[in-house]
Every structure is written in structure tokens, then in C-alpha cells.
Amino acid sequence: MKKIIAISAVTTILLSACGNQNLLPLEEKSTDLSDKNHEIKLENQELKNDINKKEKQLKSLNIDKKNTDQAKKNQKISGYLDASSEYYNEVTNIIKDYNRIDQEVIKNKKDKDIVERLDVLIEDHKSAIDSYKMTLDKEIIKKDEQLKAQDKDIQKLQQDINKAFMSIQTGYKKEKKEEIQKGREMLMNLQIKTEKDKQTNY
């Protein structure tokens, strides 16, 4: 009986020992898998962070590009408005210069000094037109209806002023009062439409 008990005890101890030995590698493997799983999660999180960071950078770059493009467009629009304003100012001064000799023109005496001053006024207006054209950005005008309309008004104004001065000059040189009067009336009826759609009569 004692032998049977002893054998049973030994068997239990051996089984327990064997069981512990078999479980140990499994526990180690489980720990390794857990560590690897944790590492993978960390890597995935880092990847997500990198992706989010790059998406934000891309979005920021797109916003910067849009802002830069808009800034360039605004600058071109501002440049055009400055050019048109400068042309209006020059036209105003040219017509004021004409008004100083208008009474002499009406006398129609074919005075050499008056002829020369009329020539200068015509040349000054041509220079004003050239300066205006040099600063034009045709692409920005095509894309903006308001600027397109204003440019059309300015071109019409340029033609009307040219016709008026040429009529006055021709009439004065040939002593034709009708031609002079025709040009004077054209100058008096000039209208300038600004970007704010205000009209100015000279």
C-alpha cells in the first residue's frame, strides 16, 4: 500500500514538472506575440501620424498656393486700376491745357504758337495712351468682366479725344470754324466712366 502511494506521488510530481516545462515556452511565445502586437500598433500609429501630418502639409500648401494665386491676381488688378487712374489724370490735365488756349482757338487766326500747342496736346495724349497700353495685362482683363468693361470705356474715350483734337487742329490750320466747333463740342461732351461707374463730364 505504501508503494502504491509513493508511486502515485512520484507520478504526480513528474506530471506537474512536465506540465510546467510545456507551459513555459507557450508563455514566452505569448509574451513575444504580445510585444510584437504592441510594436505593430505603435508602428501603425506612427504611420497614421505621418499620414495626418503630410495631409495637413499638403492642405497647407494648397491653401498657400491659392492665397499666392489670389495675391498675384489682386496685384494685377490693382496695377490695372492704377494705370487707368493715371490715364484719367493725364487726360484731365491735357484737356485743362487745351482750355487755356480755347479762346485763342476760337479766334481762328492760325497763330503759329497755338498750332504748336495743339500739336503738343495731341502728342501728350498719344503718350498717355502708350503708357496705359504698356501696363495692360490682357489676360487679367479677359477674366474680369468689370475690368473688361472699363477697358472698353477707356478705348472709346481715347478714340473720342483723338477725333476731337484732330478736328480742332485741322480746323485751326485750315481756318475752318465748323471743324473747330465740331471738335470743341466733342470735348465738351466727353464722359468718363470709372471703375465705380461714376461719370464725369468735361
The parent domain of residue 147 ranges over 82-201
How far is it, in rounded angstroms, from Cα 159 to Cα 152?
A: 11
Angle subtended by helix axes 177-188 and 2-107, to nearest 10? 150
- 175 near 108, Cβ under 8 Å? yes
| Selected residue with higher pLDDT from 21 and 102 | 102
Per-residue b/e over 170-180, b at no fewer than 16 CB within 10 Å?
Answer: ebbeeeeeebb
Q: Which three cell numbers, joined as nine digits, stand for 103? A: 479762346
User: What CA–CA distance (Å, rounded) separates 90 from 67?
Assistant: 34
Q: What is the mean pLDDT of residues 161-174?
A: 96
- Residue 58 pLDDT: 63
Q: Is residue 194 part of a domain?
A: yes
Residue-wise pLDDT for 75-117, tens only, equals: 888 888 899 999 999 999 999 999 999 999 999 998 999 999 9
- The answer to the question of residue 64 being in a domain is no
For residue 120, is pLDDT > 90?
A: yes
pTM for this entry: 0.64
Count of domains forming the chain: 1
Mean pLDDT of the chain, nearest integer? 78
Given pLDDT bands bounded at 50, 70 and 90, which one contains residue 50?
low
What span, in angstroms and rounded, lies between the C-alpha atoms of 6 and 16? Answer: 15
Q: CA 111, CA 100: separation in Å to the nearest integer?
A: 15
- Is the pLDDT score of 18 beyond 70? no
User: Where is average pLDDT lowest: 141-150, 155-164, 165-174?
Assistant: 141-150
Structural contact between residues 131 and 165, judged by C-beta atoms closer than 8 angstroms: no
Residue 70 has a pLDDT of 75
Confirm whether 7 is domain-assigned: no
